Amino acid sequence: MDAENSQIKVLASDFLDYLLIQKSLSPLTIRDYRRYLDRFICWLESNSIPLSADKIDTDLIMKYRIYLANLKTSKGNAIKKVTQNYNIICLRSFLRYLITHRDIKTLNPDKIELPKTEDRIISFLNSDQLARLLDSPQISNEIGLRDRAILELLFSTGLRVSELSNLNRDQINFDTKEFGVKGKGNKVRVVFISDTAAEWIKRYLAARKDNYVPLFIRYSRERSEAKQGEKMRLLPRSIQLIVKKYSKKAGLPFDAHPHTLRHSFATDLLIQGADLRSVQEMLGHESIRTTQVYTHVTNKHLKEVYRKYHSRK
């Protein structure tokens, strides 16, 4: 393969290293960007288009967008518009990297417009559903206490599942009921916990007889002292299954997941009168535009207030 036809592959690899080292993006985000770039490169190759940055223009991008619009999943369904946009967002970032950091002549990413997508549908729990979910674990044993503490902490803090999984038992200050957490992009924020969540965590820790560092551990016959029990840490996938298990037990109308409790946390704050900027900080959103999705959810609450209090009912 000549130098021209390998250029984009090399640059794409450099771009991913840049995202990891300079931008401190999470491994999951890097994985997604790698998949999007691989898809673009495979499309170029299958159409015998030179893998050279200076060959990228608006006509080529339009042809690629048509390809994405007709792309099918393994089940034969068209990929969602939001997924199509993620592919294009990745390409725009890649082109901006080439121009800004590598001084390579290519298409100006600002010439690639993103179409508007449908508003995200946010699933959250009302007070009755939330109470049923939180009361679901049987707290007669250590596993039940752990699961109750997990559910309470998710709703109390709005933590992402990866953030919850990474918590250590000495991280929480029970006197001030707060702790620091490192979120996306290694952004550190302060997280507050409710009195109720703090009490359930204390009950869970009091029941534990080990000295493992992780706040939440898995329970199996295998026990390990390596790295202070790091192998015993409860992983995000296990936490997702725990929440799903109790959502079924609580008889919820849909399978809840950790992000459902994060949505419920944000929605509860806004309905109770919290301002959007404060909720943005507590969720760890870099942009307030990400937080604004919750205003669509609270519009329903505003409608109920209007109907209840307006004089001309």
List Cβ neighbours of 138 (8 Å cut-off, separation of 6 or more). Answer: 144
In the chain, the amino acid numbered 163 is: E
Burial class (CB in 10 A: 0-12, 13-18, 19+), 159: buried
CA distances from 32 to 72, 202, 240, 274 (A): 18, 38, 20, 33
Q: Is 101 a catalytic residue?
A: no
**Which secondary-structure segment (H or E) carries 189?**
strand 188-192
Measured distance CA(80)–CA(92) in Å, rounded:
19
Annotated active-site residue 259? The verdict is: yes
The alpha-helical segments, DSSP class H, found in the chain are 3-21, 27-46, 58-70, 81-102, 127-134, 142-157, 161-165, 195-207, 236-249, 258-271, 276-283, 288-291, 293-309
Is 285 labeled as catalytic in the residue annotation?
Answer: yes
Given 169, 184, 231, 245, the catalytic residue: 184
Residue 135, both tokens: 């009361």
- Residue 262 falls in the annotated catalytic set: yes
Q: Could you tell me the two tokens for 310?
A: 């307006």
Residue 263 catalytic?
no
Catalytic residue among 146, 233, 257, 262: 262
Contacts of 241-250 with CB under 8 Å at 24 or more apart are 242/147, 242/150, 243/150, 243/151, 243/154, 246/133, 246/136, 246/137, 246/147, 246/151, 247/133, 249/136, 250/129, 250/132, 250/133, 250/135, 250/136
Catalytic residue among 33, 64, 204, 294: 294
Catalytic-residue membership of 301: no
Residues in the chain: 313
| Active-site residue identified among 146, 160, 233, 263 | 160
Set 34, 169, 182, 259: catalytic member: 259
> Which two three-digit tokens encode residue 309?
């209090």
Residues recognised as catalytic: 160, 184, 259, 262, 285, 294
